[in-house]
Structure 1
Amino acid sequence: MAFEKTKARYASFGVATSLPSELIDTFWDILDNYLRNVVPLDNILRFKIIKSEKGISYEYHDPGHKLLMVFDYKYSFDPFFPEYFYIVDNHGKQTILLAHELND
């Protein structure tokens, strides 16, 4: 199973230069506290960041299991934030990537 044994965690250059660190940390918080050991996880997780009434929402999409979960936070939304993010688990090395970085 994916995301069971974490060896290291990274944010790609694109993610690190386009999001504040607290928003990056929120991905790991969602993974550790709301997804892992709660829902089945594939090696690639898909997220979308959207503006919400109180700030920002992280949408977790898993079309294979017909699952959509939304997590709301009181962070300021910036329309220049990238929209889609992916977390990849490569044998315990977990990395947050932008869509174009995943396809490179």
Structure 2
Amino acid sequence: MAFTQAQGRYASFKTVASIPGEVIDAFWFIIDYQLKGVITMGPKIDFQLINSSGFLSIRFSQKESPTTITVDFDYPFDHEWPTIFHAIDQSGRETIITDHE
């Protein structure tokens, strides 16, 4: 089962260059506190950044499942950000990447 035995957590250079660290931390927060133990996650999960009345919401989804979860944050949304990111688990090495990587 993916995202259960983290040996290291990373974000790609494109991710770090395109969104603030607080947003990257929000992905890990969702994985750790909203998904683990609730949803069986595959080795690749998807996140969509959403403008919710000027604040950030992040939607989790997987291609293999119709289930989605949206988590709202009290963090301003920036229209310059890319909107699609992925979390990849490669044998415990977990990495956030942009949609174009």
Q: Is the CA contact 1:54–1:73 (under 8 Å) kept in the aligned structure 2?
A: no
* Residues 30, 11 of structure 1: alpha-carbon distance in 2 compared, 3 angstrom cutoff: same
Q: Is the CA contact 1:8–1:93 (under 8 Å) kept in the aligned structure 2?
A: yes
Question: 5+ unaligned residues in a row in structure 2: which ranges?
Answer: none
TM-score (norm: length of structure 2): 0.96
Task: Tell me whether 1:72 sits opposite 2:72 in the alignment.
Answer: yes
Task: Tell me whether 1:3 sits opposite 2:16 in the alignment.
Answer: no
TM-superposition CA deviations, 1:28-64 (whole Å, max 9, x none): 0000001011111000000100100261100111242
Q: Is the CA contact 2:54–2:77 (under 8 Å) kept in the aligned structure 1?
A: no
TM-score (norm: length of structure 1): 0.93
Q: Counting strand residues as a fraction of each chain, which structure ranks higher?
A: 2
Q: Secondary structure at the match of 1:2?
A: coil
Question: 5+ unaligned residues in a row in structure 1: which ranges?
Answer: none
Task: Output the CA distance in 1 between the equivalents of 2:50 and 2:69.
Answer: 13
The count of residues paired between Structure 1 and Structure 2 equals: 101
